[in-house]
Amino acid sequence: MKTVEEYKKIIRPFLGDKRYEHSVCVCKSAGALAKKYGADVHKAEIAGILHDIMKDVPPEEQLKMMTRYDIVLSDVERSAQKLWHAMLGAAYLENELQITDRDILNAVRYHTTARENMTLLEKVLFIADFISDDRDYPGVEKMRRAAQISLEEAMVEGITFNILDLAGCYRPIHPDTISAYNQIILKYKQN
Ligand code: DGI
Ligand code: FE
Ligand code: FE
């Protein structure tokens, strides 16, 4: 595995200025959360810097690349273009950047939808993406407070935020998001 600085150079040509700055900020927030919650700081920073590597690739090109990596899309995935960069990103890291660490690959793969039974590193990246310094959406302060309380609290808030947001616009919700929501709600929010 290369250093964060080396990965910064690798992602730079793929990303616009804003998305590059976002990636640097998520690298930092992921490292901080990893330190706080006992995850591997180096892996968290690597996952953070790389997580949106495919985000600015034009959608038609993303589709072509996914075919190349034998990624088969479900109906929901096909309809939700925002989900592609996470699936494609993980495949790209594995096939082109020789990243072999399953936990890093899965953290990138599930950073948008979340899923059931997430590892510590997967949760760290999911939350880091929500609370990075560049974020300023309404509710970000609540999310930052939740991330200081516990990973579970932040996961509940983050997944619920996504579901409310998507349903509010009548967007399809990925089954991984639904199962992540049900699991964490049953575990932490039921009496
Ligand atoms: O890549 P980022 O912008 O940093 O953040 P992200 O990877 O979490 O992507 C967020 C976007 O993805 C946001 O516009 C909502 C969308 N999204 C997340 N989960 C789902 C989804 N869209 C659909 N249709 N279904 C989902 O389950
Ligand atoms: Fe993303
Ligand atoms: Fe992101």
In this prediction, residue 191 carries a pLDDT of 67
> Which of 72, 6, 4, 11 lies closest to 44, judged by CA?
4
Query: How deeply is 98 buried, as exposed, middle or buried, from its count of CB atoms within 10 A (0-12, 13-18, 19+)?
Result: exposed
In this prediction, residue 190 carries a pLDDT of 83
Percent of the chain with pLDDT over 70: 99
pTM over 0.85: yes
Region 75-100: mean pLDDT is: 98
Give distance in angstroms: CA of 23 to centre of ligand 3: 7
Q: How many residues does the chain have?
A: 191
Give distance in angstroms: CA of 38 to centre of ligand 2: 23
Tokens 């640097």 locate to: 24
Which of 18, 19, 82 gets mutated to test ligand 1 (max ligand atoms within 8 A of its CB)?
A: 82
Supply the residue whose CA is at minimum distance from atom 8 of ligand 1: 112
Tokens 């495919």 locate to: 54
Using a 6 Å cutoff on CB, does residue 80 contact ligand 1? yes
At 62-72, the pLDDT tens digits run 999 999 999 99
Six-digit token pair at 17? 């200025």
Supply the residue whose CA is at minimum distance from atom 6 of ligand 1: 112
Residue 80 region, left (φ>0) first, then alpha (ψ -120 to 50), else beta? beta
Tokens 């300023």 locate to: 136
Ligand nearest to the CA of 26: 3
Residue 75: how many other CB atoms lie within 10 Å: 8
Region 6-20: mean pLDDT is: 98
What does the DSSP 8-state code read for residue 97? S
Which of 20, 29, 83 gets mutated to test ligand 1 (max ligand atoms within 8 A of its CB)?
A: 83
Using a 6 Å cutoff on CB, does residue 51 contact ligand 1? no
Using a 6 Å cutoff on CB, does residue 120 contact ligand 1? no
Position in ligand 1 atom list of the atom nearest CA 176? 27
Q: What mean pLDDT is reported for the chain?
A: 98
The rounded distance, in Å, linking the Cα atoms of 181 and 187 is 10
In this prediction, residue 104 carries a pLDDT of 99
Position in ligand 1 atom list of the atom nearest CA 129? 4
Q: Which domains does the chain have, with CATH numbers?
A: 4-188 (1.10.3210.10)
Region 20-39: mean pLDDT is: 98
Looking at the predicted structure, is the pLDDT value of residue 162 above 80?
Answer: yes
